[in-house]
Amino acid sequence: MYQSFDVTARPEQGPPRLQALRAELDAQGLSGFLIPRADAHQGEYVAPRDDRLVWLTGFTGSAGFCAVLPDVAGVFIDGRYRTQIKTQVADVYTPVPWPETGLADWLIDQMPSGGVIGFDPWLHTAGQIEQLTQALAGTGITLKPTDNMVDAIWDDQPGPAMAPAKVHPLEFAGESHADKRARLGTELARAGETAAIVTLPDSLCWLLNIRGADIHCNPVAQGFAVLHADARVDLFMADAKLDDVRDHLGAEVTTHDPDSFLTEIASLTGPVRMEKSSVPFIVADTMGDSGTWGDDPCALPKACKNPAEIEGSASAHLRDGAAVVELLAWLDAHAPGTVTEIQVATRLEAFRRNDNALQNISFDTIAGAGPNGAIAHYHVTEDTNLTLQDGHLLVLDSGGQYLDGTTDITRTIAIGTPGADECAAFTRVLMGMIAVSRLRWPVGLAGRDIEAIGRAPLWYAHQDFDHGLGHGVGAYLSVHEGPQRLSRASHVPLKPGMILSNEPGYYREGAFGIRIENLLVVEPATAPAHGDAHRAMLSWRTLTFVPIDRRLILPDEMDKASRDWLNAYHAEVLEKIGPRVSPGALIWLKNATAPI
């Protein structure tokens, strides 16, 4: 099982740890060192052993990095974390707005005379180092791969993740791993490639129909793989993890000790495909001329769910929706001033655990009341735990990992009587969410082409939010899955079977936050009954069924089509979820889904 360790630096621990790191850099003759939030597998989430950024700085966000120099230590964070970081790091660290300020520009600013910056070659992708090297060309600043400097000073660093792998049943996977290997191997052969290197844990687990528990809330087993064009796989995974999956893997999957990974791939004859954005620098450096750049062969097939995965996810969402409705009914039965954020998160997880198919929550529940709701990725602690008061908005973002699917839902809930500004902003966020849900779009468009539709109602009021409109979601895998996204940066065309979140929001620092999130699956759009269909279109099928708080809605600010969509959605929520909840929750649900 996953082992939990609290490796977070308290603010008072930041200065001595930073001082120790600088002493190590001085001993190694380095001018600086880069500390990303990453591990050798380049997944989004890391095990405690690899949570070096948290241990050094105290910053717990899911994205960011630190650059330590002799006189300044910059912690680079995006817009989601600019409020959060103020309370988490000591003043020896300087928050740097990123990506507005690029690392190369910052280094050039801070080191006008040049210097040598060390980096762990396992923790940075080949693409990241290539881009940074090019940006620093001619500045006198050079990059040097080194042993990890944080590991050298982290005396009680946890051991590597060693949870046992388990078989993901065919009834949920929908395709055998032999068929997956054959299908992807054929694609490699057609491209003239002999093999592909796979380092992302969710890609490896999807390919071999296995799951694990090496990462908190993410059912993945960490390892590396080489997929050959003849459908064979060399799997590099700790032997202790493999006892329950050896028979399942079969003769065409050869297991190796992870320590032999670099030696084995050095002997491959190319061209061997590597993904520049996910393969660690040291892997690409080892491959040399035998390597060729290309996409992770598992990424797109994994994203385009098959019928078994889609229907499994739909089923999981109905059971998950019932648990959330039970929580909302329970919450509404308590007067303002009687419930805390921690109680909400704990009670919701208890409702979810009534389902025997639940394996874990899909991420640490975000239950942010009042000003805490303005922190987009807020994580409640005993120190920050607020009691829900009259006038608060509660942002409740949560999900479950079920054997048949992964869920992720956000609802914003009025506690007592909401204010006028809160209702106006909530209605704009809801209008954006509905506009995306109703959308049809031409085949071939990517997330960047349609994400503005979810922001438009806020833009008219000179408002916006600093996270993407939506992310991909796995099938009993990572709750954040690529390559698909609803984001200005996403060039990946949306395809049938992809599951994405639709989650516009609004955050007023120190006051309140709002986010509304449903999961959707891409489907071919049905042609109109009347008129000519000039081109093929795609549309969404909604997977999430939980009421949206009517107390926060200003119906007169909504157009008729949006009101009709909401009323139809609520009618479907009642139909699908009503039979699954307790009698008391059903009474609440009927009121919550009444037409506006």
Asked if the domains at 11-153 and 166-295 fall in one CATH topology, the answer is yes
Q: How many CB atoms lie within 10 A of CB 340?
A: 16
**67-95 confidence digits (pLDDT tens):** 999 999 998 888 777 777 777 777 788 88
* Domain 166-295 in CATH 3.20.20.370: no
Task: List the 393-398 sheet strands across, edge first.
Answer: 366-369, 393-398, 409-414
Cα Rg of the chain (Å, integer): 24
**548-564 confidence digits (pLDDT tens):** 999 999 999 999 999 99
pLDDT at residue 1, as a whole number: 47
Residue 536, Cβ density class (10 Å: 0-12 exposed, 13-18 middle, ≥19 buried)? exposed
Query: CA 194, 199, 203: angle at the middle one, nearest 5?
Result: 90
**408-418 confidence digits (pLDDT tens):** 999 999 999 99
Query: Taking all residues of the chain, what is their mean pLDDT, rounded to a whole number?
Result: 95
- Give the global pTM: 0.93
* Domain 304-592 in CATH 3.90.230.10: yes
Lowest-confidence segment of 35-44, 238-247, 451-460 by average pLDDT: 35-44
Largest CA distance in the chain: 76
The encoded tokens of residue 387 equal: 């009691």
**295-342 confidence digits (pLDDT tens):** 999 999 999 999 999 999 999 999 999 999 999 999 999 999 999 999
pLDDT at residue 535, as a whole number: 87
**356-399 confidence digits (pLDDT tens):** 999 999 999 999 999 999 998 898 989 899 999 999 999 999 99
Residue 131 to residue 119: CA distance in whole angstroms: 14
Lowest-confidence segment of 9-23, 148-162, 304-318 by average pLDDT: 9-23
Is 110 or 12 the better-scoring residue by pLDDT?
Answer: 110
Three-class SS of residue 273?
A: strand
- Bridge-based pairing of strands 166-167 and 210-211 is antiparallel
Residue written as token pair 């019928």: 307
**484-539 confidence digits (pLDDT tens):** 999 999 999 999 999 999 999 999 999 999 999 999 999 999 987 776 667 899 99
| CATH of the domain spanning 11-153 | 3.40.350.10
pLDDT at residue 5, as a whole number: 60
Q: Are 405 and 211 within 8 A, CB to CB?
A: no
Sign of CA dihedral 369, 373, 374, 379: positive
* 49 pLDDT higher than 80: yes
- HSE toward the beta carbon, residue 87, CA cutoff 13 A: 13
Q: Percentage of the chain surpassing pLDDT 70?
A: 98
Three-class SS of residue 452?
A: helix
Q: Are 553 and 573 within 8 A, CB to CB?
A: no
Residue 378 to residue 367: CA distance in whole angstroms: 7
Beta-carbon contacts of 135 under 8 Å, excluding residues fewer than 6 positions away, are 102, 104, 105
Sign of CA dihedral 277, 279, 107, 9: positive
* 276 pLDDT higher than 50: yes
* 211 pLDDT higher than 70: yes
Confidence of residue 11 (pLDDT cuts 50, 70, 90): confident
pLDDT at residue 92, as a whole number: 83
Query: Residue ranges of the domains in the chain?
Result: 11-153, 166-295, 304-592
